[in-house]
Amino acid sequence: MRPAPSRTALCSLLCLLAVAPQGLRSQVPPSQAPQALKQAVQQNPGLPDIIRQRILQSGLSAEQVRARLAASGYPSNLLDAYLSGTVTGAALPAGALELAAIQALGVPPVEQSLLSVDTGLIRMRGTNVSSRVFGVDVFRRSTTQFLPLLSGPVPPDYKLGPGDALVLILTGDVELAYTLQVTREGFILIPQVGQVFVSNLTLDQLRDVLYTRLGRVYSGVKRAPNASTRFDISVANVRANQVYVVGEVGQPGAYQISSLGTVLTALYAAGGLTERANMRQVELQRLGKLVATLDLYDYLLRGDVRSDVRLQTGDVVFVPVHGTRAEVGGAVTRPAIYELKAGETVVDLVHAAGGFRPDAQLKRLAVYRLLPVANRSPGSPPRAVIDVALTPAVSKEQGAVPPGDPPLPVTMPSMALEDGDSVVVDAVAPLAGQYYVAITGMIRKPGIYPWRDGMTLRELVLLGRGPTVGADLREAEVARMPEDRSQGQLATTVRVPLDSSYLFERDSLGRYFGPPGIPVAARGTPEVKLEPFDNVLILKQPEFDFQRTVTILGEVKSPGTYSLRTKQDRLADLLDRAGGLTRQAYAEGVRFYRLDNGVGRIDIDVAQALRDRASRNNVILQPGDSIFIPEYEPSVRVQGAVNSPGSVLWQQGRGLEYYIGAAGGFAHTADKGKVSVRYANGQVRTRRRTLFVSSDPKPGPGSEVAVPMRDTTQHTNYVQLVGGIAQIIASTIAIIVVARK
């Protein structure tokens, strides 16, 4: 399969076709230009429309376009399809000549961003499993972190070669610009100057050559400050080198890589490294000789890329199989499997792992080593454990420390490691696994805290940030592990004295202060030493609670939010504190709501509660209770399916039919059997009518009568209804006859 054209090759081809004379344009291999541009057009179906837009924006007439094409060596009718307007869309021709010809017209060329170009890089697919081998995952990402930058100036040491595209600009006595392609033989062809050999030259070296060659044709080109003609040479597009990547890589093979690419670029293009790769000795071979060795750990651990050599055509990047490896785990920053060079020790391995974590024990570490084959007998473990003691570092001078790595807080013997060793760094035990004490109850920050020898209760209370409001500072309870467990004891409890000095907040005079409460000793109680696993309980003051508030609104003399004096305050007590009911109050319409436990509205007879303090209506108030006593309203509101909705004056003894009749009677759509009355206190009652029983609620002052509409979509089956009534009557008569007999 023919590879897709690279961005560099495609853009170089366009530039060469745009400015080269007819003779040189004919030298472009016909198998390259049509195939490259065909792929570009296939990947960009809107490219013909872009070319037409560029020609229309130029403002040139059809005759001017044909004249410029003929002057540049192109067929004069090459772009007639774009000028006629009869052909549109993908039917327009868009080949190598068309793309190059629009630049000969003097219009802006097609941007490189509009051409979809295959970079030749291969991304890893379908792998999200992280590797235990350090460094392998770096090459398994779908980003292009190793892709060379194709824009901007080339490095000063960049050497030119076949495939590069150069731009030569002359200013002063003459104003000329040439795009020059480096041929396979390493030459560039400058009009009126001839061939110039540029292969393996840097730009500075090429400028020295051009001063001599251009000076023969343009007399104004000279190195003197008063030169009348100046020139500048730069690299427009870099070439693509073919390199070979073999060994322990994801996809070995030959790859087209930019000439700015390095060994890391080639490794990434080949799909990265396998878990068998040797990261400490990646070889670069050129013309059959080893020219460089790359240690990837220098880049991965310290960001050193000085050994990342730029590639040339024909280079071979070889990744051998790994050598000695050792694994490090436990309390290190970066546990993984690392590759070791000859002579590296356990110290180097810990440095490669990023050093110790803060929770590392830093007393000892263990090295698990595979036994020789001769020592592996049946029934015996295949590994031996080597205990390595660590000692605190007396100074920061610990010998040779890799650049960029912080010194270790401990010193350890320079123990050589063998292939397959596993180093484990112990971590300190978690808080639950060491001696601790706990504090709970009326404390700001309850929890478990590490115990130390000589620790006191005052220190533990300080760690808990002091007692909260409502704490009983007379004494605390300490639950301690029992000395005798023969009877199944789990703990022994003791009461220890406290005083006001356990309040750690002070006023401006340095005195301890706290909320009002039970009187306690000012200071002087003995210190209480704690033992491991003690559990301290800071007690709560008896009957301590914050103020409880209730709200009373409406027709009372002093409405507002009141705090309950005791937990036994009742409704009548609150009404007395609010000054009693006003003359306009309607006691039967009181609305009582309770938020506690979502109880909601409660029917209360306030008049009964005031007359008889022992009645059930005189309820005990709870925090959040809300009482609303409305004003007396001598009317009844009738709404819904009546002929004249509105309010009717209330009359003593009048029933439901009176108020409905006063509102014009039922409408033809009214559901007479579901009339409801909402009383002033929020209670709702609905009319009940059966075959033999009828019960109508009687409206009171401030009530609302609601007459709903019946469902007109459902019709009553009277035949079925009469049949059902007849069956009921027959059954009733039969029962009566049987009962008499």
pLDDT of residue 316: 96
Give me the helix-helix angle, 33-43 and 7-19, nearest 10°: 120
Catalogue the E-assigned strands of 122-228: 165-172, 176-181, 187-190, 194-197
Q: What is the pLDDT of residue 284?
A: 95
Among residues 17, 44, 42, the alpha carbon closest in space to that of 112 is found at 44
End-to-end CA distance of the chain: 110
CATH number of the domain at 549-629, please? 3.10.560.10
Q: What DSSP letter does each residue of 405-419 carry, written as one string?
A: PPPPSEE----B--T
From the candidate CATH numbers 3.40.50.10490, 3.40.50.2300, 3.30.1950.10, 3.40.50.150, the one assigned to the domain spanning 165-237: 3.30.1950.10
Q: Are strands 289-294 and 282-286 parallel, antiparallel or unpaired?
A: antiparallel
pLDDT at 31: 38
Instruction: Indicate the DSSP class of residue 708.
Output: P
Contact between 532 and 435 under an 8 Å Cβ cutoff? The reply is yes
State residue 254's pLDDT score. 93
Comparing CA positions, the residue from 336, 345, 334, 348 lying closest to residue 418 is 345
- Provide CB contacts within 8 A for 443, sequence distance 6+: 461, 464, 465, 466, 467, 468, 471, 538
Alpha carbon distance 431, 450 (integer Å): 7
Q: Which parts of the chain have pLDDT scores under 70? A: 1-47, 57-59, 71-73, 84-97, 99-100, 103-104, 106-129, 141-152, 395-405, 431-433, 510-516, 690-693, 715-716
State the pairing for strand pair 165-172/229-237: antiparallel
Give start-end residues of each CATH 3.10.560.10 domain in the chain: 240-319, 433-540, 549-629
Q: What is the pLDDT of residue 180?
A: 93
Q: Which CATH class name applies to 433-540? A: alpha beta
Percentage helix, strand, coil, to 5, in the chain? Answer: 25, 30, 50
Residue 252 is encoded by which pair of tokens?
């070995």
555, amino acid identity: E
Spacing of C-alpha 73 from chain mean position: 59
Neighbours of 33 (CB within 10 A): 22
Spatial distance between the Cα atoms of 517 and 519, rounded to a whole number of angstroms: 6
Answer whether 23's CB lies under 8 Å from 12's CB.
no
What tokens does 196 get? Answer: 């110039």
**Each residue's pLDDT tens digit, 69-128:** 776 667 778 777 777 655 554 455 555 567 667 766 766 555 544 444 333 334 444 445
| Cα Rg, the chain, nearest whole Å | 49
CATH class of the domain whose range is 325-428: alpha beta
Are 549 and 560 in contact by the 8 Å Cβ rule? The answer is no
**Element spanning 609, H or E:** helix 606-611
Secondary structure in 3-state letters for 236-262: EECCEEEEEEEECECCCEEEEEECCCE
- For residue 148, the model assigns a pLDDT of 61
Fold classification of 240-319 (topology level): Outer membrane lipoprotein wza fold like (3.10.560)
* 724 phi, psi to nearest 5 deg: -65, -40
* Contact of 459 with 528, CB cutoff 8 Å: no
- Residues facing residue 325 across a β-bridge: 339
Q: What pLDDT digit, counting tens, does each position of 627-636 carry?
A: 999 999 999 9
- Taking CA 96 as the corner, what is the angle to CA 95 and CA 99, rounded to the nearest 5 degrees? 85
Nearest to 233 by CA among 173, 186, 190, 174: 190
Q: Measuring CA to CA, how many Å separate 623 from each of 134, 547, 581?
A: 64, 9, 22
Q: Read off the amino acid at residue 167.
A: V
